[in-house]
Structure 1
Amino acid sequence: MEQGNAPVPDLQAILATLSQYTGSAGGVPLQHLPEHYAPPPVELGHVAFERSATSTPQPAPAEKAHDPRLRPQARSAIASPKPMIDPATITTWQEGLRCVTKIAARNVQFVASIKKMMDDQRKHEMRWYSERQALKQMQNNRKSSSAKAASILQSLGSGPAVAPTSAEAEADNQVELSEYDRKIHVAQRSMEEAMTAELKGLGVPFFGTDLTLVVPDGYNMTKEHPPESHPKWSALVTEGELLALRRRMVGHLEDLYRD
């Protein structure tokens, strides 16, 4: 058990203990995303992909297939912007990288939103760490007080010879600490879900992928026919591959916008 003047353990080591309660998670929060706590609602700007109810897209030549991922864009008297692919249909890294780069360029609030999410996560993690350390210190103080009380009683000839700080007391402390860790795990999962929803709202690829494009792990792409409803211009992706793409995108955003 740690003393008051002991060195402060590494935060990531503390957070790592929570992984024992982790089930399969679909979302990936920022900063290596430990299982997360749900903060108060964060108002993040949403990417507005340009559409026009009155504009009429130019018909495609009969001999060329039309890619349904290309959305009709608002026409301009000066120049017509290039169509942007719907992030929900992106299932490859290179397309995702190009898409998020365009989103960051078009949405002036994008960078600020990502940085705020990272900052909020860090604050929550530090609060969890501080609370856990405070609980451990309280357990140490309780142990010390119990030992002093036992010593006084012994000196008066009315107490036990050994203070009640046995393995049973240590086990009780561990149960108390484990219960706290479980509560934090639930909070982390909630935060992870909230951050996944925020990233989807910002239009970040892989966080709002069309479900018809996602197949179970072990799906045989060469032998089995893809679902009839899936966009035929988009490659299918397994659940494991999608999770890896999310983690890679989170790492990319961290590298770009970490202070």
Structure 2
Amino acid sequence: MATYNVVDLSSVLRTLCDLNAQGQPWPGPSAAREQHHHDQAKPPSHTRTPPTDLATITTWPAALRHVMRTVGQSEETQLRIRGLIRSQHTHERQWWKGREALLAKQAARGDKKKELDAVLRSIGAPVDPKEISTVAEDRAELTNYDEKVYKASAQMAEAMAAELRGMGIPFFGTVRNEAVNDDEAKLTASELHHLQSRMLELLQDLCKE
């Protein structure tokens, strides 16, 4: 998994974005001094940059610029995302341990039955041929557990998506899929899922503890 330098990459992205918008080459020392004096002569501006409409972010480069500008420079948002990641990992560990415990319980039932049968045979007592639980019953029990875990994980994913949407993370809210022009393709469900997975990987890298 790739690692991102939050400060450096954010600065580079802003610079590239500014240069692309101006359509100008990299300024030399002289141009930089002239720009500095020009900026000093400008009256202060009180206009604010309008917030980004997340529904219009449908490409990875645009999403990357937005996240590096917001999450990458907000310790509070990073802390919230770390909390979500910890919660997810905790639940996944609990579900896995529960499954392992169920398998162990099923194996123990069979072992105890065998031990009891051996004792009964040793003293000449009748042995009940019926199994405590059949293979099919054990499989059904395990399937039922897996279905409950799947439902719980789906609910957790929905809750996390809502949290990320509230934090302004691209691809987890409404995506405006209408093509602006003929050259712009619409996102399919598969593409959106891929972008969401890619965004989660980026967030985990940005918010490592």
Shared fold per TM-score greater than 0.5: yes
Give the drift of 1:115. 0.5
Aligned pair partner of 1:145 in 89, 106, 112: 112
1:6-61 Cα offsets, whole Å, 9 max, x none, are: xxxxxxxxxxxxxxxxxxxxxxxxxxxxxxxxxxxxxxxxxxxxxxxxxxxxxxxx
Letter in 1 for 2:207: Y
Q: Can you list the C-alpha shifts for 1:128-181, whole angstroms capped at 9, x where unaligned?
A: 11111111111122111111111122223232397848xx72222121111111
- The reply on whether 1:253 has 2:198 as its aligned counterpart is no
State how far apart, in whole Å, the 2-side matches of 1:258 and 1:136 are: 34
Q: Is residue 111 of structure 1 aligned with residue 75 of structure 2?
A: no
Q: 1:213 maps to what in 2?
A: 177
Structure 1 unaligned regions, length at least 5: 1-76, 215-225
Alignment of 1:228-247 (within 5 A): 236-247=186-197
Match of 1:61 in 2: none
Q: Distance in 2 between matches of 1:117 and 1:192?
A: 10
Larger radius of gyration between Structure 1 and Structure 2: 2
Instruction: Kindly indicate whether the alpha-carbon contact (under 8 Å) linking 1:154 and 1:161 is maintained by their aligned counterparts in 2.
Output: no
SS of structure 2 residue aligned to 1:116: helix
Partner Cα distance (1:92, 1:213) in 2: 11
Query: Percent of aligned pairs with the same residue?
Result: 33
Q: 1:188 is aligned with what amino acid?
A: S
Q: TM-score, normalised by structure 2?
A: 0.69
State the match for 1:97 in structure 2.
64
Asked if residue 122 in structure 1 is aligned to residue 89 in structure 2, the reply is yes
Unaligned runs of 5+ residues in structure 2 are 1-43
Corresponding residue for residue 30 of structure 2: none
2:161 equivalent to 1:196: yes
Aligned to 2:49: 82
CA distance in 1, matches of 2:72, 2:49: 14
Distance 1:235 1:106, change over 3 A: farther
| Contact 2:172–2:196, Cα closer than 8 Å, also in 1 | yes
Partner amino acid for 1:122?
H
Match for 1:184: what amino acid? V
Provide closer, same or farther for how the CA distance between residues 120 and 231 of structure 1 changes in structure 2, counting only shifts above 3 A. farther
Q: What value does the CA root-mean-square deviation take over the aligned residues?
A: 2.8
Residue 134 of structure 1 is matched in structure 2 by 101
